[in-house]
Structure 1
Amino acid sequence: MNRFNIPLVAEGLTAYAIERQNGFERHQLEDAPPWREQRRLWTDAILQGMARLDGLAPDPKLMEQFDRELKQASGSAAAVPASLQLQRETIQNLRNFVTALEDTGDDRRCQVNVVRELLEDIASHLPWAGKNNRLDLARDEAERSLVRMTAQMPIRFTHIALGGDTGPHWANGFVSGSVTDAEAVKQSPVYQEAVRDYPEVGNWATLCVVYVGRGLPSALGTVDASDFDLEIMNRIGDRFLDEPGVRWLSGPYQMTIAALAESLDESAPFQMGHTM
């Protein structure tokens, strides 16, 4: 039995793309492809992914029809918007797709992220976002799936927390690999963004803790977290540390970094035992 109603998903996403084409558009990001091209890529990737998970060959006629209907509807006010029932069924199939991808046990995060990005796009369109079609639930499920899958990756990463000397200017975030000294901290985007956002802070009290994913007992067999890993981790923030699979490796390493001086004014880094 097929898990997805692929023709229905194609119908729903085609109707959505027509609505966006003929209505208000999102702000166009600099150096990014036009949104209409993005939506076509997302739709094609989702339809192909669903077919392959169901053991089917992707049907190129679906995207041919997608292109044909968008062209016919261009500039036309007569295009019929998606009904609430079509919205609900399309979104439910997308939720089922995310669940099926995670259930494979493979790293299908790129495919899940395509669904997440499409759902974020849909959430900016009031005719879909303002109705009881479980869109918000689908977005949350896609994000949670990405977080769970990332915590099970054999990656190594560091959580950096920064505190200012003149007030509650705290900044924190995840960076790749093992960051345990002041020079490495200063090269991190967490520190550089904090210095930019709070130029009045002269000294940064810094705390670094190194972690691994997949519940591994050591760094053996791990790789430094990728930009994609970090994007997912930093979206959820400190809560990522509570995910099953995230395991303490070393630290904390404490130091003070002088942001406004040529030389570092830091205490000798020290390492504390694991207290979690």
Structure 2
Amino acid sequence: MDRFDISRVAMGLTTYAIERQNGFERHQPEDSPPWQEQRRFWTDATLQGMARLDGLTPDPKLMEQYDLELEQARGCYFTVPATQQMQKDTIRELRRFIAVLEAAGDDRRRQINVVRELLEDMSLHPHWWNGKDNGLERARDEADLALQRMTAQMPIRFTRVLLGGDAGPHWASGFVSGAVTDAESVKQAPVYQDAVRKYPEVTDWPALCTVYVGHGLSSALGTVDASSFDLEIMNRAGDSFLKEQGVRCVGGPHQMVVPAGPAQSQDSPAPLQMGLNM
């Protein structure tokens, strides 16, 4: 395997971070780290991951240079943005990184998810998106598909909950952890809670629950209930996740009518995990 062009990636991601620092910023959700801090984390994790896949010791000078250039650019009225070629080169290496991580054969989904979040951030910046042919859209799609394929190969158990029935008029669906096969379990599901909040006028929710496992297993024996990270990937994919190789139905569909109850308060989003082990 050809080695990653780590110095070029570092240059591209540093230039990108400067553009975002000196331009318009994304909306900042409550209780989450500043976007600038997250971009530094994504960049550091990516550069370290590439180095380790190449059998190298990560070079701390790359992030020292990153910090120095961002500090020097802070408050400047004019900075040189990334050329389209720099964008293409950076994104090409990120795509290679995703492919190599998936081919490594173990669970490197969190590393791929870091790259996905970085690509998602880029897609919200007009200079790197805005219809440009730099490979960004393809790279983001490849990250999503890699995460879906890898999740389908995990020995996990989960349930697809469909609310609304044939008559509607409102419908909702989503994946939840474990085996959800009765009305009380449905009431605890985030998809139900969201539906109750969104459609308070509905008094009864017809529900259809189907239990699945991953890893191509024929039963739930030997599985663990899907984690919040698994569910994040599955719910982002929607029902198309059920078409992934390795997903098997092991129970249901279970039909029931769930009386609407008061929605529970949603938990605050978990803080960014800054100690990712590459």
Same fold at TM > 0.5: yes
Assess if the C-alpha contact under 8 Å between 2:196 and 2:261 holds in 1: no
> Runs ≥4 in structure 1, deviation > 2 angstroms?
164-168
| Aligned position for 1:172 | 173
1:25 equivalenced with 2:17 (yes/no):
no
Q: Which has the larger radius of gyration?
A: 1
Alpha-carbon distance in 2 for matches of 1:33, 1:154:
32
Is contact 1:165-1:202 (8 Å) kept?
Answer: no
| Between 192-201 and 230-239, the greater mean CA deviation after superposition | 192-201
Q: Are 1:244 and 2:245 matched, yes or no?
A: yes
Q: What do the CA deviations read for 1:174-195 (whole angstroms, capped 9, x no partner)?
A: 0000111111111111111111
CA contact (8 A) 1:17 1:70 kept: yes
| Aligned CA distance change for structure 1 residues 22 and 76 (closer, same or farther; 3 Å) | same
Matches within 5 A, 1:1-276: 2-130=2-130, 131-163=132-164, 167-259=168-260
Take 2:100 and 2:243, find their aligned partners in 1: how far apart are those partners?
24
| CA apart distance, 1:165 | 8.5
RMSD across aligned C-alpha pairs, in angstroms? 1.4
- Which residue identity does 2:230 align to in structure 1? D
Worse overlay, 174-183 or 77-86: 77-86
Q: Distance in 2 between matches of 1:228 and 1:15?
A: 30
What one-letter code is carried by the residue in structure 2 that aligns with 1:53?
Answer: L
In structure 1, what is the Cα distance between the partners aligned to 2:26 and 2:193? 30
Offset from partner CA, 1:113-162 (integer Å, 9 cap, x none): 00000001111111111221011011100011111110000000001111
CA drift at 1:257: 1.6
CA contact (8 A) 1:4 1:93 kept: yes
Identity %: 69
Instruction: State the one-letter code of the partner of 2:257.
Output: T
- Residues paired across the two proteins, number: 261
Alignment correspondent of 2:269:
none
**Mapped partners of 2:260, 2:86: distance in 1:** 55
The amino acid of 2:224's aligned partner reads: V
Long gaps (5+) in structure 1: 262-276
CA gap 1:252/1:166 in 2 versus in 1, 3 angstroms = closer
Query: Partners of 1:29 and 1:197 in 2: how far apart?
Result: 21
Distance change in 2, residues 1:188/1:9 (3 Å)? same
Kept in 2, the 8 Å contact 1:165–1:201? The answer is: no
User: What CA distance in whole angstroms lies between the structure 2 residues aligned with 1:181 and 1:29?
Assistant: 34
Higher relative contact order (CA 8 A, sep 6+): 2
Question: Aligned partners of 1:59 and 1:139: how far apart in 2?
Answer: 27
User: Contact between 1:165 and 1:203, CA under 8 Å: does it hold in 2?
Assistant: no
Distance 1:257 1:63 in 2: 53
Whole-angstrom CA distance in 1 between matches of 2:167 and 2:107: 44
